Structure 1
Amino acid sequence: MLKVLACGAVVFPGLFLAFRRILPCVFKHWSDADVVLVSERLVSSIHAIMATTAGVIVVTSCQGNAINDRHWLATYFVIWYGAPYMTYDIFAMYLSHYHRFRVKGHEDYKQHSLKAVNSFIHKEFLLVLHHIALLTILLPITLFFRKDQGDFFIGCLFLTELSTPFVSLGKILIQLSLQDCWLHKFNGVMVLFTFFMCRIALFPYMYWMYGRHYSIPLYSVPFHLPLSANLGNSCILAPQVYWFVLLCRKAYRLYKRSRRPDSTPSAAVSDKSKDD
């Protein structure tokens, strides 16, 4: 427990508070909403880099036997950094939501209230549900119900965070009014590529690795797994597909806007306000 408190439970809130102190000194014209948003995104990127690194280490160490090979990071990263981060991130997302609507002058956001919390949960329901499911379902499975098997697949789930730094960078570039530069366009391509590869295509790959271990074809793997495993994977995959569709729609809108001859920076600002 002391290690948990000394690691993620202190690191992520500490980084968030540090960024909230530093960013207003650098970007003096930013509002509280701008500072909180960028601070949240920077911390998310740091956690994502840590999780991806842990995932690469676990996956490369356990490829010989995807079922029985062990690596200590598969369990301890979840305890030290995964669970504390998910808990912190729910609060950080609420703060970002609260300050964004407070700057816009909404009456319910003059101070923290139950109405503000309810509005946040309603608007970000899928994200909040995703975080809570990871804490209440995936965490107990990882720690208590795996029977010391499947470290490879836990490492694969860590790799789903690879797209997060690119998603965060896109929002930060918009915050810096750099949405029309080549970096933002390149980053958009990387968002779609990493999101698809590490949050959608990764699941068939894990099924294929499971089938390879037991020498069964890919199409037979779902019938070889218990129903709870298939349902769990489906519950994780479903919101990823939904978010990927949203990303594709947004990318298509941006592409159409860039092809219009009357596309101007002011139009980009207008699109940014709609996204908010």
Structure 2
Amino acid sequence: MLPALLCGAVVFPGLFQGFRRLLRSTFTHWSDADVVCVSERLVSSVHACLATAAGVAVVTACKDVMTDSHWLVNGFASFGAPYMAHDIYAMYLSHYYTQKVKGHSAALGGHSLRMARAFFAKDRMLVIHHLVLLLFFLPVTLFFRRGLGDFFIGCFFIAEFSTPFVSMGKILIQLGLDDTRLHRVNGVVVLLSFFVCRILVFPFMYWSYGRQFGIPLHRVPFHLPPHCNVGNLAVLAPQVYWLLLLLKKAYRLYRRGRGRPKTS
């Protein structure tokens, strides 16, 4: 567990710094805000791809959803923990440089408590989400499960599948490709992957449990300890919130496309 934790503490900050250097030398006209924002998105995509691969390996290997175990669960949870902490820092750094480009950093006091408060006000849900995963779900995964439920932890890993497409959308905007077919297709993939892997994954987990023990899907919640249902709701709630934001954004883009005059 400790070697995986130390490896993650080296890999993710190292990738972030490596991407920053590569982008700064490749896109010389980009501001620090552009470089940091895209670097953070690229690291998020790397983490998401690794999490998805680990989740698929765990889910396909665990035939018994309660008692089967897989070494990747604790291994990847430990490896990915430093990413959560680092991503909060990377998001803050992106916010700081964005405010600096806009000329607001001096008014907010540079790197200061006021800047941190402004960052938290802007990205409150994401910061809380990362902190909950780091401070609550990580200890539960590593120390309090008594070796049970690796299948379900694998399902949570797979939920990261949509992240690279979300990041690609941001990067395409950064490259000025937000009015292209690629961006529109990516937007559709974002909605579908987010809905399947972050929303439908919850009824899938309940269905898998019910199938194993011969319980109808609608009765499964009543056969689980209350803290399991509460924990799932705590994870599901922000996913529903972010899905609604994605749908609103997609609708705005659709309206903007319809309102654009046609050219012959």
TM norm. shorter chain > 0.5: yes
Distance 1:2 1:198 in 2: 29
Correspondence 1:50-129 to 2 at 5 A: 50-62=50-62, 64-80=63-79, 82-106=80-104, 107-109=106-108, 111-129=110-128
Q: Is the CA contact 2:5–2:81 (under 8 Å) kept in the aligned structure 1?
A: no
1:229-267, Cα deviation, whole Å (9 max, x unpaired): 111000000000000000001001001101113489xxx
State the partner residue of 2:162: 163
State the partner residue of 2:233: 234
Give the AA of the match of 1:224.
H
Correspondence 1:1-276 to 2 at 5 A: 3-4=3-4, 6-62=6-62, 64-80=63-79, 82-106=80-104, 107-109=106-108, 111-262=110-261
1:183-236, Cα deviation, whole Å (9 max, x unpaired): 111100000000000000000000011111211101111111111111100000
Q: 1:4: Cα distance to partner?
A: 3.8
Distance 1:20 1:261 in 2: 36
Distance 2:137 2:2 in 1: 22
State the partner residue of 1:272: none
Moved more, 123-132 or 187-196: 123-132
Kindly, what percent of the aligned residue pairs are identical? 61
**What is the SS of the residue equivalent to 1:210?**
helix
1:154-196, Cα deviation, whole Å (9 max, x unpaired): 0000001000000000000000000111111110000000000
Distance 2:239 2:246 in 1: 10
Q: Is the CA contact 1:108–1:116 (under 8 Å) kept in the aligned structure 2?
A: no
**What is the SS of the residue equivalent to 2:107?**
helix
The two structures have a TM-score, normalised by structure 1, of 0.92
Distance 1:243 1:221 in 2: 26
Count of aligned positions: 262
Distance 1:99 1:140 in 2: 33
Q: Given the superposition, is the C-alpha separation of residues 96 and 121 from structure 1 closer, same or farther in structure 2, using an over 3 Å criterion?
A: same
Q: Given the superposition, is the C-alpha separation of residues 145 and 127 from structure 1 closer, same or farther in structure 2, using an over 3 Å criterion?
A: same
Unmatched segments (≥5 aa) in structure 1: 265-276
**What is the SS of the residue equivalent to 1:108?**
coil
